[in-house]
Protein backbone atom coordinates (compact mmCIF):
# COMPACT_ATOMS: atom_id res chain seq x y z
CA UNK A 1 0.00 0.00 0.00
CA UNK A 2 2.80 2.44 0.83
CA UNK A 3 4.32 2.01 -2.65
CA UNK A 4 1.04 3.14 -4.25
CA UNK A 5 0.92 6.18 -1.98
CA UNK A 6 4.55 6.96 -2.73
CA UNK A 7 4.17 6.75 -6.50
CA UNK A 8 1.14 9.03 -6.20
CA UNK A 9 3.32 11.44 -4.20
CA UNK A 10 5.91 11.33 -6.97
CA UNK A 11 3.33 11.93 -9.69
CA UNK A 12 1.76 14.81 -7.73
CA UNK A 13 5.14 16.46 -7.10
CA UNK A 14 5.99 16.21 -10.79
CA UNK A 15 2.66 17.85 -11.67
CA UNK A 16 3.46 20.67 -9.20
CA UNK A 17 6.74 21.15 -11.08
CA UNK A 18 4.83 21.18 -14.42
CA UNK A 19 6.35 17.90 -15.48
CA UNK A 20 5.76 14.23 -14.99
CA UNK A 21 7.10 11.20 -13.21
CA UNK A 22 7.87 8.72 -15.98
CA UNK A 23 8.66 5.87 -13.58
CA UNK A 24 5.71 3.71 -12.61
CA UNK A 25 7.05 2.31 -9.36
CA UNK A 26 8.51 3.81 -6.18
CA UNK A 27 10.93 1.47 -4.42
CA UNK A 28 12.73 3.56 -1.78
CA UNK A 29 14.55 6.87 -1.19
CA UNK A 30 17.83 5.51 -2.59
CA UNK A 31 16.32 4.42 -5.90
CA UNK A 32 16.48 6.86 -8.78
CA UNK A 33 13.36 7.44 -10.84
CA UNK A 34 12.87 8.83 -14.32
CA UNK A 35 11.45 12.38 -14.51
CA UNK A 36 10.47 14.64 -17.39
CA UNK A 37 10.12 18.44 -17.38
CA UNK A 38 7.64 20.49 -19.41
CA UNK A 39 10.31 20.93 -22.13
CA UNK A 40 10.72 17.18 -22.61
CA UNK A 41 14.10 16.84 -20.85
CA UNK A 42 14.41 13.52 -19.03
CA UNK A 43 16.76 12.60 -16.18
CA UNK A 44 17.15 10.19 -13.29
CA UNK A 45 16.86 11.45 -9.71
CA UNK A 46 15.79 10.28 -6.28
CA UNK A 47 12.33 11.38 -5.12
CA UNK A 48 13.89 13.00 -2.03
CA UNK A 49 15.90 15.25 -4.35
CA UNK A 50 12.78 16.23 -6.33
CA UNK A 51 10.75 16.66 -3.15
CA UNK A 52 13.33 19.14 -1.80
CA UNK A 53 12.72 21.43 -4.78
CA UNK A 54 15.31 20.34 -7.33
CA UNK A 55 14.09 19.90 -10.87
CA UNK A 56 15.44 19.81 -14.44
CA UNK A 57 19.12 20.82 -14.53
CA UNK A 58 19.02 21.73 -18.22
CA UNK A 59 16.15 24.19 -17.74
CA UNK A 60 17.66 25.57 -14.52
CA UNK A 61 21.01 26.11 -16.23
CA UNK A 62 19.35 27.85 -19.18
CA UNK A 63 17.34 30.20 -16.94
CA UNK A 64 20.36 31.00 -14.76
CA UNK A 65 22.63 31.64 -17.73
CA UNK A 66 20.03 33.95 -19.29
CA UNK A 67 19.74 35.91 -16.04
CA UNK A 68 23.52 36.14 -15.66
CA UNK A 69 23.97 37.06 -19.30
CA UNK A 70 21.58 39.96 -19.06
CA UNK A 71 22.67 41.22 -15.65
CA UNK A 72 26.43 40.79 -15.86
CA UNK A 73 27.16 40.81 -19.59
CA UNK A 74 27.14 44.55 -20.25
CA UNK A 75 28.94 45.27 -16.99
CA UNK A 76 31.61 42.70 -17.86
CA UNK A 77 32.02 44.16 -21.35
CA UNK A 78 32.37 47.70 -19.97
CA UNK A 79 34.89 46.55 -17.35
CA UNK A 80 36.91 44.64 -19.94
CA UNK A 81 37.03 47.64 -22.28
CA UNK A 82 38.11 49.86 -19.39
CA UNK A 83 40.97 47.44 -18.65
CA UNK A 84 42.16 48.05 -22.24
CA UNK A 85 41.85 51.84 -21.77
CA UNK A 86 38.93 51.71 -24.17
CA UNK A 87 35.16 51.84 -24.05
CA UNK A 88 32.24 49.58 -24.74
CA UNK A 89 29.85 51.86 -26.62
CA UNK A 90 26.93 49.43 -26.69
CA UNK A 91 24.02 50.09 -24.36
CA UNK A 92 22.53 46.60 -24.67
CA UNK A 93 23.98 43.12 -24.16
CA UNK A 94 22.36 40.29 -26.12
CA UNK A 95 25.02 37.61 -25.73
CA UNK A 96 28.71 36.89 -25.93
CA UNK A 97 28.49 36.11 -29.65
CA UNK A 98 26.49 39.21 -30.63
CA UNK A 99 28.26 42.21 -32.11
CA UNK A 100 28.85 45.20 -29.88
CA UNK A 101 30.39 48.60 -30.54
CA UNK A 102 33.87 49.31 -29.13
CA UNK A 103 36.27 52.25 -28.98
CA UNK A 104 40.02 52.06 -28.33
CA UNK A 105 42.15 54.70 -26.60
CA UNK A 106 43.18 56.06 -30.03
CA UNK A 107 39.53 56.80 -30.86
CA UNK A 108 38.95 54.01 -33.40
CA UNK A 109 35.49 52.43 -33.31
CA UNK A 110 34.53 48.99 -34.60
CA UNK A 111 32.10 46.12 -34.14
CA UNK A 112 33.14 42.84 -32.52
CA UNK A 113 31.65 40.14 -30.34
CA UNK A 114 32.49 40.14 -26.65
CA UNK A 115 33.76 36.57 -27.15
CA UNK A 116 36.40 37.84 -29.60
CA UNK A 117 37.32 40.76 -27.36
CA UNK A 118 37.83 38.40 -24.40
CA UNK A 119 40.06 36.19 -26.58
CA UNK A 120 42.45 39.09 -27.02
CA UNK A 121 41.24 40.68 -30.25
CA UNK A 122 41.15 44.39 -29.55
CA UNK A 123 41.31 47.30 -31.98
CA UNK A 124 41.77 45.98 -35.53
CA UNK A 125 42.98 49.41 -36.69
CA UNK A 126 45.75 49.62 -34.09
CA UNK A 127 46.65 45.99 -34.77
CA UNK A 128 46.99 46.72 -38.48
CA UNK A 129 44.33 44.21 -39.43
CA UNK A 130 42.17 46.65 -41.41
CA UNK A 131 43.39 47.46 -44.88
CA UNK A 132 42.19 50.52 -46.79
CA UNK A 133 42.52 51.26 -50.50
CA UNK A 134 45.33 53.73 -49.72
CA UNK A 135 47.24 50.90 -48.06
CA UNK A 136 46.85 48.77 -51.19
CA UNK A 137 48.07 51.58 -53.43
CA UNK A 138 51.07 52.21 -51.16
CA UNK A 139 52.05 48.52 -51.12
CA UNK A 140 51.71 48.31 -54.90
CA UNK A 141 53.98 51.36 -55.36
CA UNK A 142 56.54 49.92 -52.91
CA UNK A 143 56.67 46.75 -54.99
CA UNK A 144 57.07 48.71 -58.23
CA UNK A 145 53.50 48.33 -59.38
CA UNK A 146 50.29 50.28 -59.45
CA UNK A 147 46.92 49.55 -57.85
CA UNK A 148 44.19 50.40 -60.37
CA UNK A 149 41.23 49.82 -58.05
CA UNK A 150 39.44 52.70 -56.35
CA UNK A 151 37.84 50.61 -53.60
CA UNK A 152 38.90 47.73 -51.34
CA UNK A 153 36.33 45.38 -49.86
CA UNK A 154 38.35 42.50 -48.38
CA UNK A 155 41.05 39.95 -49.24
CA UNK A 156 38.53 37.55 -50.82
CA UNK A 157 36.80 40.01 -53.15
CA UNK A 158 37.93 40.21 -56.79
Q: What is the pLDDT of residues 11-51, one digit of tens each?
A: 999 999 999 999 999 998 889 999 999 999 999 999 988 98
pLDDT in tens, 106-121: 898 888 888 889 888 8
Laid out side by side, the sheet with 20-21 consists of 20-21, 32-36, 42-46
User: pTM of the predicted model, to two decimals?
Assistant: 0.42
pLDDT of 125-140, one tens digit each? 888 765 667 767 877 8
Show the CA angle centred on residue 66, arms to residues 45 and 119, nearest 5°.
110
Amino acid sequence: MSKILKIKDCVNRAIEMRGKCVSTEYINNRTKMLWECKNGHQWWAKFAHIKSGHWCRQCTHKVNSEKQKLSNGLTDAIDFANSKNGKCLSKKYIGTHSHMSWKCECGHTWLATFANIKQGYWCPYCAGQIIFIDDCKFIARELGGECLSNTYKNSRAK
